[in-house]
Amino acid sequence: MDLITGTYDCKVDAKGRLMMPASIKKQLSAVLQDGFVLRRSVFQKCLELYPMSEWQVLMQKMNKLNKFKKKNNDFIRRFTAGAKMVEVDVNGRLLIPKDLTVFANISKNIVVASAINIIEIWDKDLYEQAIDDASDDFADLAEEVMNTETRINALDLKIENDCEKFIALYTPVAIDLRFIMAILKINFDLESDEYFNSLQKITDFFKSVNGKSIMDIRKL
């Protein structure tokens, strides 16, 4: 699905029905017939509207979590709490369930805002307040987030290159190939700021093997 763009002032009627902005409907035209999932936001007092395809991708990721860990079960339960399957009707209206309107303080004037691959639905006053509250430190936040992403991407590329060089230089046998494949899988899975140090340790490992024999490397 293509990324979604746009922020729109809208209204909901007394029954909680939202007339979807024409531009949003056009961008979602390929997935309208599949339906959506509407849920509470974890971080803000707003609602998040997921195209069904995006929701399924997210659920597949969650399904990989170890269900025998209490914190994982707690997270899944809280993340999916109140989630509802919804549809845009033939008139282009989306009915917001009553419990979700209460959660997000939605009454009449709202903001429908794109958030890359999903849509946020806000009470208008709360949306403007959230934007105002974030304005003071947004520059610092943007610098931190984007710089971290750049560093992670650079390490990701370096690890792939180091793995290729290792295979070319050492002609590894099965045990060594399994090790390299494990590194590549770890590198593929580690995609957030909290794992930056782990990526750095992998690059440090490849620095340490420089000039060593394959037998010495296995002892590291």
In terms of average pLDDT, the best of 115-119, 152-156, 182-186, 195-199 is 115-119
Q: Does residue 131 lie in a domain region?
A: yes
Average pLDDT over residues 182-200: 60
At 58-87, the pLDDT tens digits run 999 888 888 888 888 898 998 998 899 999
Percentage above 70 pLDDT, the chain = 74
Average pLDDT over residues 180-193: 64
pLDDT band at 199 (very low <50, low <70, confident <90, very high): low
Q: Does residue 1 lie in a domain region?
A: no
pLDDT band at 178 (very low <50, low <70, confident <90, very high): confident
125 and 36 together in one domain: yes
Instruction: Enter the pTM of the model.
Output: 0.67
Q: Does residue 117 lie in a domain region?
A: yes
127 and 72 together in one domain: yes
211 and 131 together in one domain: no
Q: Does residue 2 lie in a domain region?
A: no
Q: Does residue 203 lie in a domain region?
A: yes
pLDDT of residue 193: 46
Domain that holds residue 204: 138-218
Query: In the listed set 117, 135, 153, which residue is the last one of a domain according to the structure?
Result: 135
pLDDT band at 131 (very low <50, low <70, confident <90, very high): confident
Q: Does residue 68 lie in a domain region?
A: yes
Query: In the listed set 80, 113, 135, which residue is the last one of a domain according to the structure?
Result: 135
160 and 174 together in one domain: yes
pLDDT of residue 83: 94
124 and 189 together in one domain: no
Tell whether the model's pLDDT for residue 52 goes beyond 90: yes
Tell whether the model's pLDDT for residue 2 goes beyond 90: no
Query: In the listed set 105, 135, 165, which residue is the last one of a domain according to the structure?
Result: 135
Percentage above 90 pLDDT, the chain = 44
* Dihedral of alpha carbons 31, 36, 42, 44, sign: positive
162 and 207 together in one domain: yes
pLDDT of residue 183: 72
Locate tokens 């959230």: which residue? Answer: 130
Question: Structural domain tally of the chain?
Answer: 2
131 and 48 together in one domain: yes
Tell whether the model's pLDDT for residue 54 goes beyond 90: yes
121 and 153 together in one domain: no
Q: In what order do the strands lie in the sheet with 47-51?
A: 7-11, 109-115, 118-123, 47-51, 36-40, 84-86
At 24-41, the pLDDT tens digits run 999 999 999 999 999 999
pLDDT of residue 157: 76
pLDDT band at 179 (very low <50, low <70, confident <90, very high): confident
Q: What is the mean pLDDT of the chain?
A: 81
